[in-house]
Amino acid sequence: MPISIHHLRSGTTTRWAVCQDGRWGELDRTLADLLAVPLGQARTAVEAAARDAGGEMPGDEMLPPVDRQEVWAAGVTYLRSRDGRKEESGYGALYDRVYESDRPEIFFKASPWRVVGDRDAVGIRSDSGWDVPEAEVGLVLNAAGELFGYTLANDMSSRSIEGENPLYLPQAKIYDRSCAVGPAIVPSWAVDPGPFHLGLRVLREGREVYAGTASTSAMARGFEDLADWLFRALTFPAGVLLLTGTGVVPDADFTARPGDTIEITSAALGTLTNPVIAIGDATGGKEQQ
């Protein structure tokens, strides 16, 4: 990555910084500040920090590259994703219509404080028996809907819960640690606009138990189209992250487990690595009869 934007923490202090060719420069504003202004103005600020880069990383810990941004997501944007939804649910005609319609499926994914970053743990629900990672390109959009940058994302999903009933989608998608983003934001002006090639690996006790690849060239919808639909009746004064769907869907006999490690890679956007833990109580606090 020739230039990337990072969210860092040192003790109780957080800051934003730019890394260019291994050299670090601090930003004098937050991501929310950058996404509240026109793209050209934000680019000037980022490039000024890059010109001054030269020191060591100004922090001890990498945080997810969000501060006040909600995370939204698009679904059924790849043929493989459509087929995976049909496989888990039996509602074939429903997902055919979503895949082929003008209006995309767009749903709320995470509040910023529920998002985890590189090396932090993602979760699978304790009350779910079939869970998968979803490797995706995330769009970082400013308040005007302009494309500020790209990042990698993992939209963890419970296929058993969503497959039981499509109306359970929020429970399948939205829970603590269900969304990983990172390791950084690559500015839109610093990288080719795609297609992006993604790789997904799941390691279990050091052994690869799943691997798959996809390219955004296989998407049925473009990035600009998805962003346009998101902004049609919503405002985001501090910007927003929009996940663009996955083309890597493990077969029905695979489920993620606590203790696994998930790696999502892109030559242009880096590597996002997360261990897996269980989230919640399978019984909801009720005694088993």
Residue 180's CATH number: 3.90.850.10
Tell me: do 42 and 74 sit in the same domain.
Answer: no
> Does residue 286 form part of some domain?
no
- Could you count the other beta carbons within 10 Å of the beta carbon of residue 62? 18
pLDDT computed for residue 100 by the predictor: 84
Asked if omega into 195 is within 30° of 0 (cis), the reply is yes
Tell me: do 121 and 139 sit in the same domain.
Answer: yes
Measured CA to CA in angstroms, residue 261 lies from 103, 156, 201, 255, 282 at distances of 35, 13, 8, 12, 22
Q: At which of 45, 63, 81 does a domain end?
A: 63
Angle between helix 79-89 and 92-100 (nearest 10): 160
pLDDT computed for residue 92 by the predictor: 60
β-strands 115-116, 179-187: how paired?
parallel
Measured CA to CA in angstroms, residue 60 lies from 110, 141, 235, 285 at distances of 25, 27, 34, 38
pLDDT computed for residue 282 by the predictor: 82
Tell me: do 259 and 193 sit in the same domain.
Answer: yes
Tell me: do 82 and 59 sit in the same domain.
Answer: no
The rounded Cα 209 to chain-centroid distance in angstroms is 22
> Does residue 249 form part of some domain?
yes
pLDDT computed for residue 44 by the predictor: 97
> Does residue 222 form part of some domain?
yes
Tell me: do 193 and 238 sit in the same domain.
Answer: yes
16 φ, ψ (degrees, to nearest 5): -110, 140
> Does residue 271 form part of some domain?
yes
Determine the Cα–Cα distance for residues 45 and 39; give it in Å rounded to an integer: 10
109, 75 Cβ separation under 8 angstroms:
no
> Does residue 98 form part of some domain?
yes
pLDDT computed for residue 57 by the predictor: 81
Tell me: do 41 and 123 sit in the same domain.
Answer: no
Tell me: do 26 and 113 sit in the same domain.
Answer: no
Give how many domains the chain has, as a whole number. Answer: 2
- The per-residue pLDDT string of the chain (289 residues; one tens digit each, 9 = 90 and over) reads 579 999 999 999 999 999 998 899 999 999 999 999 999 999 999 999 999 888 788 878 999 999 999 999 998 888 766 676 666 666 667 778 877 888 999 999 999 999 999 999 999 999 999 999 999 999 999 999 999 999 999 999 999 999 888 899 999 999 999 999 999 999 999 999 989 999 999 999 999 999 999 999 999 899 999 999 999 999 999 999 999 999 998 888 999 999 999 999 999 999 999 999 999 988 775 544 3
Measured at the CA of 12, the angle between CA 10 and CA 18, to 5 degrees, comes to 40
Determine the Cα–Cα distance for residues 255 and 264; give it in Å rounded to an integer: 16
pLDDT computed for residue 289 by the predictor: 38
Q: At which of 30, 48, 63 does a domain end?
A: 63
Domain hosting residue 7, numbered range: 3-63
Tell me: do 81 and 55 sit in the same domain.
Answer: no
Quote the tokens at residue 287. Answer: 């005694």
pTM for this entry: 0.93
> Does residue 287 form part of some domain?
no
128, 258 Cβ separation under 8 angstroms:
no
> Does residue 7 form part of some domain?
yes
> Does residue 289 form part of some domain?
no
Tell me: do 53 and 134 sit in the same domain.
Answer: no
Tell me: do 183 and 213 sit in the same domain.
Answer: yes
Tell me: do 159 and 204 sit in the same domain.
Answer: yes
Tell me: do 155 and 204 sit in the same domain.
Answer: yes
| Cα-Cα end-to-end distance for the chain | 55
